[in-house]
Structure 1
């Protein structure tokens, strides 16, 4: 597919490594910029909230509401965007573009009603939801009501993104995602400054308006997607007119087909959120049985890993989500054409590309955790250690996201769901003893073990059912890890030397040192993957050209 700079293209969908890489670049760029922007706002937001204690309580309240909203969001979109992307890619591979368009129209109707229903349940049922999931904390009720408005719009946004992704069109999704985040951050910072700095109001009011910003961002995102859709409408109509017509599909009701494909996406897309909600529902109670701490102290400890660290590691996990979105339609098309070689190739390409980026990103975050945490939240020794621990757990969270998408693209939905629930049960069993053993690190360790079990089962199935040869991927993964470890050691040494004379309380010098460490890390890892030609083996010949331009032999 030859794409233009604005993201438009001939809408015919290729199935190749080039398409995977190109789509991943678009989705990764959109996700990364959005996540970075979604993290940067924390700096002024926490400053305007006042004291460290107030900011910590606000972070905890924000995350309690947002975790529940995230789960409702997955249910309200009902996995249909992923299902639409997958099925449209399937029909397009058979030259049945008109069939895919009819499926999309029925999906729009479903999205409207599920969005409306989910918004109503979340808004009017907020007091009951707070009693069940956050121990009756009534401060969460107005936060949930503010978030409910976004559920009216985001399901429609999601299905339009899924439609473009079915054509391997990732630019509209990426750009709309970024615009959504910009509008959201501008509103929430403006509202927080007005409430806390001008009116000297309550942090609860600031959190309520900050969460309502999700609705504002959604409106802007919908506008961007509609612009793209109207711009490409002539091409879409042309493809539909020229496509093959299958008689028994003229009156086909796609409702059953959509829901059959959507249900696995509901369960698996909510996988990480489900783990987080379990932490939210059990953390205070489990911790209190071992250490009789006050509610405010427990809320502050919960915020350290559920909000503070989570906000930052989600930047790296978004890499996995971007690649997963790209992989599903490509694998679905290869499966529809029964191309076993292409399937094996796409599995290997997807996993290796993910590891090439995710491992150095996570180990890099581990290395720069101290200045990074100081930049966003001020100095906190425990918070820094939790961020380092979380950055390693992020590799498994990202791998689960990618592997679940791979299995869905290959129509192994039941197996993916089964393995997810096995991992969740493992976490539930281990959580209590690990909290007693590891304190605040317990939930993170339980998550790592549960996700690790699920990932191992998924990889085993890919090897058994699709002939995926893991040897090459394991060898390259070891190479990536070793090169990333060299980078980590280099950054850690610089970090240790720097903080011999930098006061950890000095935010400005920490920012400067963070920039130095990030640049150094990119240079070390970039040089090593080009020097060893590992990047060429995974990404392709373009890396050879870059290596030659940089005169790396």
Structure 2
């Protein structure tokens, strides 16, 4: 029975991981048609509210549920019940007090916040966005309790439903705004309403699972509210911070980019459009980072708690391989996207505005992938608070970089600040990981000769294709061309890495079309 339960938990965890990947891809992908429909100014308005909506999603999906699941699991392990009086009510009240505080602060200070970001017309959007924080206690409590009892499917299903509803409503609103005379600021309000609708759907789904699968309390016992408060504030906030790297970078741009541009003499409209152009890079960074980190992390065994010397020796090999695979994939995605960015920019966003600055921003894919992979390893080993502190430090570096560089270099300065912040985060994570696991030989795990040959071959192929192909005018033709060079360029890169012995068979099993790569790997060995 116990083995069956463990299998169910593993299947649920896998489903939760896949749901997370699907959610990230969906979250990145829908912003491309959104920009196409509303233009750079409409996209700017959406991106000015998106970090707040993203923070709500992180709190309700990763942050507080992690803390509540830990509390639930600990209470059940001790044979103590999770009763309404001594668990559900106090945890919900504490969450509601926290989120009500955020609501009151954001609602009452929406005007000042809008002035701070450089656009008073966003006041109504921020005031509306305050209400979504009031839904966090419901989703967080339900997800946390269900996860704490080993039920991962409810979180996965509710996450997918929440994302689909949100995306459907946002794109629908963008279509309506594009054909009507309504103000583009309506897209910000629509984004908030869509997020609220998605969370309400998630609450309904979670409630259905909760009512159907709720376990009876084993033994009711009083637990101090101080304990609940401590875990929610420490584990909850730390877990949220660890999932907020990319959102915090965007939050820094929300507060500093437009004011920095206007300080340099840009008109407000020019600054808004430039912010919209800069934000074109965000979905691409998100997709590239998912590619660079997610496949690599599947190479790691499940780990938790503080590591011992014995654990460290057993884990250092899979950790090294995970970091190496993350580096290979992210390096290929970064260099490849930098090469084809002019075509990708025209295809996805209808013109090549900001290509130079966005090519610099794309470098964050490599650095963020390494940083997130290393952070995930450290979190699995029990260093959640330490990695959260590093994320906060990277956010400060990004803010300071924007303040110093944007007035001088425009959006190029913001791109550089993102790269610097991401590099700082990656360096901190790797240094800490090396301290915790001294056996790691990070540099030796990368086949630098194979990497150099693969990158050179891919760049030569992409440059050659660009020289051979005639200029493509139609967007349909550009679509076919970009798809072709993306797929073939990536295949050339992976094939060269494979032929030079950069991958192992276990690494290849995690990649798309794994069977093909494994067969090619066998041919190399034969």
Shorter-chain TM-score bucket reads: 0.7 to 0.9
**2:113 match:** 129
- 3-state DSSP of counterpart to 2:196: helix
- 3-state DSSP of counterpart to 1:203: coil
**1:52 match:** none
- 3-state DSSP of counterpart to 1:202: coil
Are residue 157 (structure 1) and residue 149 (structure 2) matched? no
Q: 1:113 to 1:349 in 2, by over 3 A?
A: farther
Match of 2:198 among 203, 214, 217: 217
**1:179 match:** 161
**1:469 match:** 440
Are residue 200 (structure 1) and residue 181 (structure 2) matched? yes
**Residues 381-530 of structure 1 correspond to what in structure 2 (within 5 A)?**
382-435=353-406, 438-471=409-442, 474-476=445-447, 479=450, 483-484=454-455, 486-498=457-469, 500-503=470-473, 506-530=474-498
Tell me, in whole angstroms, the C-alpha distance in 1 between the residues paired with 2:321 and 2:360. 28
Q: 1:401 to 1:100 in 2, by over 3 A?
A: farther
Which shows bigger deviation, 403-412 or 334-343? 334-343
Does structure 2 conserve the Cα–Cα contact (< 8 Å) formed by 1:529 and 1:535? yes
Does structure 2 conserve the Cα–Cα contact (< 8 Å) formed by 1:164 and 1:170? yes
Aligned-residue offset at 1:495 = 3.4
**Residues 168-317 of structure 1 correspond to what in structure 2 (within 5 A)?**
173-197=155-179, 199-226=180-207, 233=213, 251=223, 254-255=227-228, 256-289=230-263, 291-305=264-278, 307-317=279-289
Are residue 67 (structure 1) and residue 37 (structure 2) matched? no
What is the number of residues matched between the two proteins? 516
Which shows bigger deviation, 451-460 or 522-531? 522-531
Encode CA deviations 1:450-475: one digit per residue, 9 max, x unaligned.
33123212211221233250336642
Does structure 2 conserve the Cα–Cα contact (< 8 Å) formed by 1:27 and 1:170? no
Q: 1:35 to 1:170 in 2, by over 3 A?
A: farther
**2:31 match:** 39
Which shows bigger deviation, 515-524 or 466-475? 466-475
Aligned-residue offset at 1:428 = 4.7
Tell me, in whole angstroms, the C-alpha distance in 1 between the residues paired with 2:411 and 2:124. 28
Q: 1:365 to 1:327 in 2, by over 3 A?
A: same
CA RMSD of aligned residues (A): 4.4
Are residue 371 (structure 1) and residue 343 (structure 2) matched? yes
Encode CA deviations 1:359-388: one digit per residue, 9 max, x unaligned.
3333333333233222332112x3233332
Does structure 1 conserve the Cα–Cα contact (< 8 Å) formed by 2:69 and 2:144? yes
**1:361 match:** 333
Q: 1:462 to 1:375 in 2, by over 3 A?
A: same
Does structure 2 conserve the Cα–Cα contact (< 8 Å) formed by 1:60 and 1:302? yes
Match of 1:80 among 64, 70, 78: 64
Tell me, in whole angstroms, the C-alpha distance in 1 between the residues paired with 2:462 and 2:208. 44
Does structure 2 conserve the Cα–Cα contact (< 8 Å) formed by 1:12 and 1:167? no
Tell me, in whole angstroms, the C-alpha distance in 1 between the residues paired with 2:147 and 2:295. 12
Aligned-residue offset at 1:393 = 1.5
Q: 1:327 to 1:122 in 2, by over 3 A?
A: farther
Does structure 1 conserve the Cα–Cα contact (< 8 Å) formed by 2:158 and 2:203? yes
Stretches of structure 2 lacking an aligned partner (at least 5 in a row): none
Encode CA deviations 1:141-177: one digit per residue, 9 max, x unaligned.
2222343343333454355556666788766545543
Does structure 1 conserve the Cα–Cα contact (< 8 Å) formed by 2:402 and 2:414? yes
Does structure 1 conserve the Cα–Cα contact (< 8 Å) formed by 2:397 and 2:420? yes
Encode CA deviations 1:104-129: one digit per residue, 9 max, x unaligned.
85655544443444344433432232
Encode CA deviations 1:313-357: one digit per residue, 9 max, x unaligned.
222234567579989993325749983334435643543443344
Q: 1:165 to 1:364 in 2, by over 3 A?
A: farther
Tell me, in whole angstroms, the C-alpha distance in 1 between the residues paired with 2:325 and 2:345. 28
Aligned-residue offset at 1:519 = 2.3
Stretches of structure 1 lacking an aligned partner (at least 5 in a row): 50-54
Q: 1:209 to 1:263 in 2, by over 3 A?
A: closer
- 3-state DSSP of counterpart to 1:139: helix
TM-score normalized by the length of structure 2: 0.80
Tell me, in whole angstroms, the C-alpha distance in 2 between the residues paired with 1:321 and 1:283. 28
Q: 1:282 to 1:469 in 2, by over 3 A?
A: same
Tell me, in whole angstroms, the C-alpha distance in 2 between the residues paired with 1:383 and 1:456. 28
Does structure 1 conserve the Cα–Cα contact (< 8 Å) formed by 2:34 and 2:171? no
Are residue 10 (structure 1) and residue 10 (structure 2) matched? no
Match of 1:96 among 77, 80, 84: 77
Aligned-residue offset at 1:443 = 1.6
Q: 1:429 to 1:141 in 2, by over 3 A?
A: closer
Tell me, in whole angstroms, the C-alpha distance in 2 between the residues paired with 1:219 and 1:271. 26
Q: 1:417 to 1:368 in 2, by over 3 A?
A: same
TM-score normalized by the length of structure 1: 0.76
- 3-state DSSP of counterpart to 2:304: helix
